Amino acid sequence: MLIQSVIFALIYVKVVAPRDGSFGARTLAYGVMGAALSWSFTTLAVAAKNVMTSVPDYLLIETAFTVVQWLMVAPLTVLAFPRTARQDGQMRVAG
Residue 54, amino acid: S
Model confidence over 44-57: pLDDT tens digits? Answer: 888 888 888 888 89
Q: Is the pTM of this model over 0.85?
A: no
Reading phi first (left if > 0) and then psi (alpha if -120 to 50, else beta), residue 48 is in alpha
The residue length of the chain stands at 95
pLDDT beyond 90 at 73 = yes
List beta partners, residue 91.
86
Answer positive or negative: Cα dihedral of 10, 11, 14, 18. Answer: negative
CA dist 20 → 51, 57, 77 (Å)? 45, 39, 16
- For 17-39, the pLDDT digits (tens) are 888 888 999 999 999 999 999 99
